[in-house]
Amino acid sequence: MSALTVKNLSVAHGQLSAVRNLSITVQKGEIIALIGANGAGKSTFLRALAGAHSPTAGHIYLDDKDITQLCAHLRVKEGLALVPEGRKLFSELTTQENLLLGGSSARAGQWNIEKIFKVFPNLVKRRHSKTGTMSGGEQQATAIGRALMSNPDILILDEVSLGLSPLVVDQVYASLATLIQMGTTIILVEQDLSRAMQVAQRAVCMLEGEIVLDKPMSLVSREEITDAYFGLHKITNSTME
pLDDT tens, position by position, 99-135: 999 888 778 888 999 999 988 888 999 999 999 999 9
Please give the Cα distance from 54 to 60 (Å, whole number). Answer: 11
Please give the average per-residue pLDDT across 21-49, as a whole number.
95
Residue 221 has pLDDT above 70, yes or no: yes
Q: How many structural domains does the chain have?
A: 1
The number of C-alpha atoms within 13 Å of 85 and in the hemisphere containing its C-beta is 16
Angle at 111 between CA 136 and CA 134, to 5 degrees: 15
CATH number of the domain within which 78 lies: 3.40.50.300
Model confidence, pTM: 0.87
Write out the residue range of the structural domain in which residue 43 sits.
Answer: 2-240
For the chain, what is the mean pLDDT?
A: 89
> b/e map of 115-147 (b: 16 or more CB within 10 Å)?
ebbebbebbeebeeebbeebebbbbbbbbbbbb
Please give the Cα distance from 194 to 221 (Å, whole number). Answer: 11
